Amino acid sequence: MFAKYNTLTKLQWLIWTILTIMFFFYALELYPLADAFNYAAHSTISYGLIFYGNALWLMPRLYRKKKYLLYFGAVIFTLVAVTYLRVQSQSYIWFRYILKKPFHVELRSYYLTFILNTLFYIFSIAYRFTLDYFLIKRQQDHLLKQHAEAQLSLLKAQVQPHFLFNTLNNIYFVAQRESPLTADLIEKLSSIMRYFLEQGPREEISLNAELDFIRNYIELEKMRIRYPVETTIDIRGDTTNIKIPPMLLIPLVENVFKHGIDKRASNNYLTIRLEIPDRLHFQVSNRTHNDPGQHSKGWGIGLNNLSKRLSILYGGNFVLESDHSKDMYTSNLIIPL
């Protein structure tokens, strides 16, 4: 922010320096050298007073507060006062110290000076509105960033407790049957809880950590289904140094176990494909059944939350789509790396 202000200040100094030089060379063609300096100095000072007096004082204190009569009265007074003082001061120096003649000012000098002062007053309005535009835009960008961060935190907070309670229920049912796999489930749950506590709050995590989380989640979910679920995970490409925001891939897998698994059927399957060419391609497919309620009501909370997070993180630079054919449901996610 300070860099932007310094750049703007330097730019204004440069513009006023150029204007002063232009005033000087313009006057040099008409008057002696001493009066050219006199003209350039008075021009820059008077125009600067009107320009910044209106932009930085009158408009913020009067115009913004809708004191229009007082504002326009102050503008007219300022224009007249600066015009009079400039003509009087410039002429005094000209006649007293350069020509050394009796002091006399033509009325025409006041008219021309007033018109030029009015022109710089108009420029100052444009300058003030430009400053306001960039100030508002900077505030909006800051608010959007804060809003995005708050939404991301809220969405992740909604997902985590929901998943943990479901997992604890799964362990409860397994423990009731005194299954020897209980210890294995607890170990996987421990890994998942560690993921939530250590990886979840970060802005980015390794893709391998996300994939390990997905594998543990699948194993936990498969334990509460009567028949085995045929699971295929196909990873193509080097995932070693890839980083992504946490919990972007799991909602597609979670959606399968919520809506795409028939607990009474023995032919359930889940296929996960991940490819890393120039972007990350993540595809999840599962068998659909004759239950009319499955996938018929559109996306649930998990996928809607995912869509909102993707919009916050990537704007429109992502793909999240689903396809429901006769006996297969496929979800696709494509994000930049």
- Per-residue pLDDT, 332: 93
Residue showing tokens 């992740």: 156
Q: How far apart are the first and last CA of the chain?
A: 29
Q: Does residue 129 sit in the same domain as residue 183?
A: no
Q: Is 52 exposed, middle or buried (0-12, 13-18, 19+ CB in 10 A)?
A: middle
* Residue 10 is assigned to a structural domain of this protein: yes
Q: Report the number of distinct structural domains present in the chain.
A: 2
Question: Between vectors from CA 73 to CA 67 and to CA 78, what angle results, nearest 5°?
Answer: 120
Q: Is residue 115 part of a domain?
A: yes
- The verdict on residue 168 lying in a domain is no
Are 55 and 117 members of one domain? yes
Evaluate whether 50 touches 34 at the Cβ level (below 8 Å): no
Low-confidence ranges of the chain (pLDDT < 50): 1-3, 292-297
Domain check: are 199 and 247 in the same one? yes
Residues 85 and 212 in one domain: no
CB 322, CB 332: distance < 8 Å = yes
The answer on 309 and 196 residing in a single domain is yes
- Check whether residue 105 and residue 246 sit in a common domain: no
State the pLDDT at residue 165: 61
Q: Is residue 171 one of the residues assigned to a domain?
A: no
Pick from 213, 220, 168: nearest CA to 194? 213
In eight-state DSSP terms, residue 61 is I
Q: Where in the sequence is the domain holding 122, given as residue range(s)?
A: 2-141
292 domain residue, yes or no: yes
148 domain residue, yes or no: no
252, 218 Cβ separation under 8 angstroms: no
pLDDT reported for residue 159: 59
Predicted structure pTM score: 0.48
Q: With respect to residue 161, please indicate whether it lies within any of the assigned structural domains.
A: no
Supply the pLDDT for residue 268: 86
In the numeric block, which tokens belong to residue 106? 């033509």
| Amino acid at the residue 319 | V
